[in-house]
Each structure stands twice: as C-alpha cells, then as structure tokens.
Amino acid sequence: MLTLRKPYLVYLGDATVKSDCKTGFGLRDWCRSDVLAEWSHPDGTVTLGLERLSPAAAAARGAGSLIVGVAPMGGTLAQHWVADLEAALEAGLDVVSGMHTRLGTFPRLAAAAAKHGVRLVDVRHTGERYPVASGRKRSGMRVLTVGTDCALGKKYTALALTRALQERGAEATFRATGQTGIMIAGSGIPMDAVVADFLAGAAEQLTPDNAPGHWDVVEGQGSLLHPAYASVTLGLLHGSQPDAIVLCHDPERREIEDCPGYAIPPLAQVIDLYLRTGRLTNPKIRCVGLSINSSSLDEGAWRDYRARLERELALPVCDPMRGGVAALAHALLGR
Amino acid sequence: MLTLRKPYLVYLGDATVKSDCKTGFGLRDWCRSDVLAEWSHPDGTVTLGLERLSPAAAAARGAGSLIVGVAPMGGTLAQHWVADLEAALEAGLDVVSGMHTRLGTFPRLAAAAAKHGVRLVDVRHTGERYPVASGRKRSGMRVLTVGTDCALGKKYTALALTRALQERGAEATFRATGQTGIMIAGSGIPMDAVVADFLAGAAEQLTPDNAPGHWDVVEGQGSLLHPAYASVTLGLLHGSQPDAIVLCHDPERREIEDCPGYAIPPLAQVIDLYLRTGRLTNPKIRCVGLSINSSSLDEGAWRDYRARLERELALPVCDPMRGGVAALAHALLGR
C-alpha cells in the first residue's frame, strides 16, 4: 500500500482561483492536524489561511512531504513550478502529486530526489503488485460508499461517516481508494490504476482482517451504472466485501455524466443492483442509507425530497453538508 | 493493439510432456497456415509433427516470429532456452512469449533484440495506453463467450464459432483477449493486464465499428461469478457491447475453482445475470446457446444432459469437441 510521510506542506502553485485548489482545501478540512503549513509560487493568490512556510522552513519544523494541492487545467504539472518542487526535495521533503504527469518525467526532479534520498510519489499511479483475490471472508466490519455516478460525494461521505462513527466511540478507519483520499489518509490504493487481474485483490489488501467491532469505511469509486468505470467499482465491491453500503446520489444527475443515453434508474433499482452484486462475496450485505448531494435544492425542496425518499425506500437519507451523517452511523452501529 | 509478425516458428523448449506444449498444439490446430515449422532444444522430445527448422532456416523461409509454445511449471522462462531465443533474434525473428517473466529481463535477449532491430513481445503484458470507454454504440455485430468459471472453453468456443460462421459465408473475426488467443489471431489485447480505468475502453478498441453483417467473435475472460476476476469479465462485457452471448460451462464444476464456498448457481440464473449486466451497454443482448465441456460425461450421459438443458433453457446446447457449434452459428445468423 502507498504510504505518505506526514505532516504536509501544501503547495498551491500559481493558482488564482480557489476551485483549482480543491485538493489543498480538502487536506485542510479533513486532516488539519497533518497540515503543517502552505506554500505557493510568487504569482499565486489563493491561500488556505494557514501559516506560510518555505520548504526549508517546513522541513526544519518536521514536515515529511510537500503535497501538490493544486490541479491545473488538463492535469499536467506546470514547468514553472518545478523549481519550487526541486527546493522541497533539496530540503529533504518527499514530493507528492495526484496529477497524470509523473513527477519522475521531469529530469530535474528525478535527479534531485535521487541526490537527496527522498521520494517522488504519484498517487494517481501504482507500480505495486497486488495478489489475486482469494474471496475469503475476513474479520471486522466494512462499509462502502457507492454511487449512481462518479463525482457526487462518495469520498466526502466516507470521510464524514468515519468521523461520525469515531464520535460515537466506534473504532473506524477511512480507507482511501483515490488520489485525494490517499493524501488525506496518508495511505491507500489508487484503485483505478491497478492492473485488472489484481483489482479485487488490491481491495482485499486495503481492508484486511480486523477486530470484530472495527469498521473500515471504504471510499467508493465510479458506479456500476457507468459504461467505462463499472469494472473498477465491481472489483472494489467484491474485494472489500462490504457488510453495508451507503448509496450516494445527486438529484440533478439524470444521466451518467458525459455518457448521453445512460439514464440513472430509480434509486430502489440501483440499491438492488449493488446488493445483488455484492452478495457474491458477502451474502449479508445491506444498504443502511443514502447520502445526497442536495446543493441544487433549496431548503423546502430538500425537505420534501428527503421525506419522499425516506418513505419510498424506508432508509435514512442524509446530506453530509446539510445536517451530517449521524443517521448513517446510527444505522451501522444500532446506537 | 498488439500485433504479431507471422508466419511463426513454434519453439517447444526441452519439453518431454505434451501437456506442457498446449500453446504449441493450439497454434498448430487453430492457425495451421501461419505456422511455418517447429524447433526445440536438443533435450526436448515433444513434436507437433511439423517440419523442424532452425531459427536461421525459418527466417530464410520468411518466418516473422519465434513463438514460445511451451509453458513450463511456474510460468517462468528456463535459463537454458535463452541461447535458442537469442539465435532467433540474431536471425531477425521477433520472439513472442506468454510467460509471466518478461523477455526483456534477460539482458542477453534485450541486447540481442536491440542489436538486430527485432522485438521481444510479452503477450501476457501490455504497456499500451487505451482510451476511457465512451459507451457509444458501434456498427456491426458482436458475440462474446462468457462462462460460469475460468478455464472451461471460452477461447475454444470462440474459435470454433468463428470458423462455423465463416463456413456459412458470414464475415467473422476472432477477437483475442488472452495470451494464446493473441498468438493464434496474431493480434489482440490481454484484457487482464490492462489498467482498470481503461478496461472497457480497451474492449471498445478491440471491437471497432464494422460492416452491418460482420460478426466479431470475442474470446471471453473470467466469470461474473468469480470473486477475483469478475471485474475483468465486466469490463469486457460492457466494452464489447455484445449482441449475443454464449454461456460456457463444465458440468463437473460445482464451485469456482480454488474458491471454496463459491457455488455455481443454476445456469438459468447465470444467463440472467449476464443479460441483466450486459444490457447497460447493449439493451438488445441475448443468449444464443450454451457450449459445454462434456469431457467428464460418457455418450449416454452427455445425450441426457444436453436434452435436459435444451428443454429447461429452450436454447441450443453444444460441445465444440463433440459435434461442433453449428447450432450456435445457426442461432446467430438465423440460417
């Protein structure tokens, strides 16, 4: 499994728009105690509101990694950031990126990392080998966030649910499966980068045997309804063997994004699809509730929508951004 | 897509047991006209019954590749074959292997390939990048062989069905998705080696737009019932968008091999699972019949088994090794 050196110095490049720094804000919001400070290029204007430290100053204060917390258009690393990243390597920090361009393709960075004995970590890629899945039942409990589509709150829901479980005194671990999640958790497996044969095996590694009352809260990926990504979703579902799922949905989404004609069916059917499919590796799988991204609904519309769904599905319906996920934690723990 | 240079010189190493040379026999049986000759190490005793030619003699007669047609225990390449493979490279042949060990990890082979401008091709691996699947419907027709488990006749059935379609005057292309299939076809994509995000996209590339009456006959992989490999099966099912499936089964197989407790459900349920799942990318998907590996049944038992299945499922039931697959071709073409 990928493991990162904390605490972090978060790098915001030359960003002038907050939305380009989603990763940086996510780190500040979800692992604040692991974020030592922020740093940016002189042309950058975005700030997380944290102390500014140069790579050398951050290293002197104990930082382990500089994290690229900005995602430029196209997902490629800007040439003029390279000097800043090189400075971090020279200061003894690992450099961690979630971009498509591998850090090692910049000869200056590859040379500096080798010279100073530090790592270039591309959390979007994995060179690791995973075993073939065994399908063997493991001890401990697991909950997986699943979705009607990509990018509608599976990571956010898993993070919020981990907190809610911990607040109720339960042992819970967030298990990261995508780049930002891995940065937040400090470890994880980028599922969509794993070679197909080893996908379910990687998910088994991610969620190993654990204490009977312990919950792994697994960040979902993709959707079984997605014509390109369903196999990633399936490998994660089969390998993580969830005892429970939470279905994530955005009521604005009528079709799979960028896939015209791929309509999202009624949610009862979607839940049924996930449960039928998940039963292969865990016959006891159940759906404990829904997590809705309700940002498109005003307060009244959200109240009506939630009441209707709860009545139709006989399950708790939450929005982590609007009232939290206590009902989901309660459904998992029975307390 | 991986493309191999034909015709082939098939190398049998120092094999003394026929079953170690399944790949070699498969090539002889399924692409006889592409196999120029055979060659082996002096200690080998297995023969395909073809002309013996040294790499140099085969190259002089126009061979394009030496294919490693022997799979030793453990799937690793024996050190004492390296000299033979090096001789092939020196003679100007590509060397093609389906083993886990990459050919390029033998420094002598890597050096010889570079020096003579020929290729080392590992059909079990793929370094190629594939696009993300679009889910867009393509022209032409596709049939996919699917299974209740791995290793029960999906490749053999697809090859036999391709021939049967061609014999009936239909245009048909075998589409290879595994190592032996790729050697037989001379091209293909090793699906289980593709990075998860691009699995369905690779399957779309493998089965591109085609003439309206043309059939792609796609070699299936794994099984939706397999706790380790179902995601490979799903990516291939979604990406190839089959108009028709053929379910392959071995009546001896009650559980998924090496996965105790994973029972194979009644075949009607398995067909239903594949059709429901495949409908995502092709709502018109149908099952046209079953291909049974009946080697465990005597003649009477096979007759009874087939009659019972045909009655229960109202579908043609064949064994490609016992009477052929004409009924499947008929069901596809309606003639």
Query: Last residue of a domain, which of A94, A122, A150?
Result: A122
Residues of B in contact with A259 (CB under 8 A): 134-135
DSSP letter at B264?
A: P
Domain match, A148 and A292 both: yes
Judged by a CB distance cut-off of 8 A, whether residue B264 touches chain A is no
What is the pLDDT at residue A75? 64
For chain A, what is the largest distance between any 2 Cα atoms, rounded to a whole number of angstroms?
Answer: 62
**Which stretches of chain B score pLDDT less than 50?**
none
Residues of A in contact with B196 (CB under 8 A): 191-196, 199, 231-232, 235
What is the pLDDT at residue B128? 83
- Both tokens assigned to B201: 């996209």
What is the pLDDT at residue B79? 79
Domain match, B258 and B117 both: no
Gap between the Cα atoms of A262 and A244, Å rounded = 26
What is the pLDDT at residue A154? 97
What is the pLDDT at residue B21? 93
Residues of B in contact with A133 (CB under 8 A): 227-228
Question: Contact at 8 Å (CB) between B130 and B194?
Answer: yes
In the β-sheet with B244-249, what is the strand arrangement from edge to edge?
Answer: B172-175, B215-218, B141-147, B244-249, B286-292, B317-318
| Residue B35 within any structural domain of the chain | yes
| Residue B136 within any structural domain of the chain | no
Judged by a CB distance cut-off of 8 A, whether residue B43 touches chain A is no
- Both tokens assigned to A165: 């479980």
Judged by a CB distance cut-off of 8 A, whether residue B275 touches chain A is no
Helices then strands, counting H and E runs in chain A, come out as 11, 13
For the CA atoms of B214, B219, B222, B223, the dihedral, rounded to the nearest 10 degrees, stands at 40
- How many Å separate Cα A183 from the centre of its chain? 8
Identity of the residue in B200, B227, B238 whose CB atom sits nearest the CB atom of A135: B227
Helices then strands, counting H and E runs in chain B, come out as 11, 13
Residues in chain A: 335
Gap between the Cα atoms of B237 and A231, Å rounded = 10
CATH number (domain holding residue A203): 3.40.50.300
- How many Å separate Cα B110 from the centre of its chain? 27
Instruction: Name the minimum distance, in Å, from the CA of B189 to any CA of chain A.
Output: 13
In angstroms, the Cα distances linking A120 to A36, A89, A112, B101 are: 19, 9, 10, 27
Domain match, A98 and A153 both: no
Residues of B in contact with A197 (CB under 8 A): 192-193, 228-229, 232
| Residue A189 within any structural domain of the chain | yes
For residue B232, give the chain A residue with the closest CA. A196
AA identity, residue A65: S
- Both tokens assigned to A61: 């204060």
Identity of the residue in B134, B192, B234 whose CB atom sits nearest the CB atom of A197: B192
Domain match, B74 and B199 both: no
Judged by a CB distance cut-off of 8 A, whether residue B197 touches chain A is yes
ipTM: 0.94
DSSP letter at B22?
A: H
| Residue B129 within any structural domain of the chain | no
Domain match, B34 and B146 both: no
Gap between the Cα atoms of B50 and B37, Å rounded = 6
Grouping H, G, I as helix, E, B as strand and the rest as coil, residue A199 is: helix
What is the pLDDT at residue B271? 98
Phi, psi of B7 (to 5 degrees): -75, 170
Strand A244-249 to B187-188 pairing: unpaired
Domain match, B108 and B216 both: no
Residue A18: burial class (beta carbons within 10 Å; 0-12, 13-18, 19+): middle
Instruction: Name the minimum distance, in Å, from the CA of B224 to any CA of chain A.
Output: 9
Domain match, B56 and B181 both: no
Identity of the residue in B134, B228, B235 whose CB atom sits nearest the CB atom of A200: B228
In angstroms, the Cα distances linking A10 to A60, A99, A174, A251, B55 are: 15, 15, 21, 33, 58
Nearest-10 crossing angle of helices A82-90, A107-116: 10
pTM of the model: 0.95
What is the pLDDT at residue B61? 98
Domain match, A323 and A224 both: yes
Residue B154's H or E segment, with its range, is: helix B154-167
Question: How many other C-beta atoms can be found within 10 angstroms of the C-beta atom of residue B312?
Answer: 12
**Which stretches of chain A score pLDDT less than 70?**
73-75
Judged by a CB distance cut-off of 8 A, whether residue B110 touches chain A is no
Gap between the Cα atoms of A200 and A249, Å rounded = 24
Gap between the Cα atoms of B240 and B13, Å rounded = 36
Domain match, A179 and A283 both: yes
Residues of B in contact with A230 (CB under 8 A): 200, 234-235, 238, 280
Say if the Cβ atoms of B195 and A199 lie within 8 Å.
no
Number of domains chain B is built from: 2
Residues of B in contact with A191 (CB under 8 A): 196
Judged by a CB distance cut-off of 8 A, whether residue B174 touches chain A is no
| Residue B130 within any structural domain of the chain | no
For residue B195, give the chain A residue with the closest CA. A195
| Residue B127 within any structural domain of the chain | no
Sign of CA dihedral B135, B140, B146, B150: negative
Domain match, A241 and A321 both: yes
What is the CA angle B267-B271-B274, rounded to 5? 140
CATH number (domain holding residue A23): 3.40.50.720
| Residue B146 within any structural domain of the chain | yes
In angstroms, the Cα distances linking B40 to A162, B51, B56, B82, B109 are: 60, 11, 13, 12, 18
Instruction: Name the minimum distance, in Å, from the CA of A241 to any CA of chain B.
Output: 10
Say if the Cβ atoms of A193 and B197 lie within 8 Å.
yes
| Residue B134 within any structural domain of the chain | no
What is the CA angle B197-B185-B141, rounded to 5? 65
Nearest Cα residue to A332 out of A217, A224, A239, A241: A217
Judged by a CB distance cut-off of 8 A, whether residue A263 touches chain B is no
Q: Is the bond into B7 cis (omega within 30 degrees of 0)?
A: yes
What is the pLDDT at residue A74? 65
The per-residue b/e assignment along B134-170, b for 16 or more CB within 10 angstroms, e otherwise, is bbeebebbbbbbbbbbbebbbbbbbbbbbbbbbeeeb
Residues of B in contact with A130 (CB under 8 A): none
Instruction: Name the minimum distance, in Å, from the CA of A307 to any CA of chain B.
Output: 30
Judged by a CB distance cut-off of 8 A, whether residue A280 touches chain B is yes
Instruction: Name the minimum distance, in Å, from the CA of B156 to any CA of chain A.
Output: 21
* CA atoms lying within 13 Å on the CB side of residue B109: 25
What is the pLDDT at residue B74? 65
Grouping H, G, I as helix, E, B as strand and the rest as coil, residue B202 is: helix
Place of tokens 């990687």: A202
Domain match, A80 and A204 both: no
Query: Last residue of a domain, which of B62, B88, B122?
Result: B122
Judged by a CB distance cut-off of 8 A, whether residue B194 touches chain A is yes
Query: Last residue of a domain, which of A122, A151, A182?
Result: A122
Instruction: Give the residue numbers spanning the domain of A166.
Output: 141-333
Gap between the Cα atoms of B43 and B96, Å rounded = 21
For residue A227, give the chain B residue with the closest CA. B135
**How much helix, strand and coil, in percent to the nearest 5, is found in chain A?**
40, 15, 45
Gap between the Cα atoms of A220 and A236, Å rounded = 8
Residue A42: burial class (beta carbons within 10 Å; 0-12, 13-18, 19+): exposed
Phi, psi of A31 (to 5 degrees): -145, 50
**How much helix, strand and coil, in percent to the nearest 5, is found in chain B?**
40, 15, 45
Residue A87's H or E segment, with its range, is: helix A82-90
Domain match, A215 and A320 both: yes
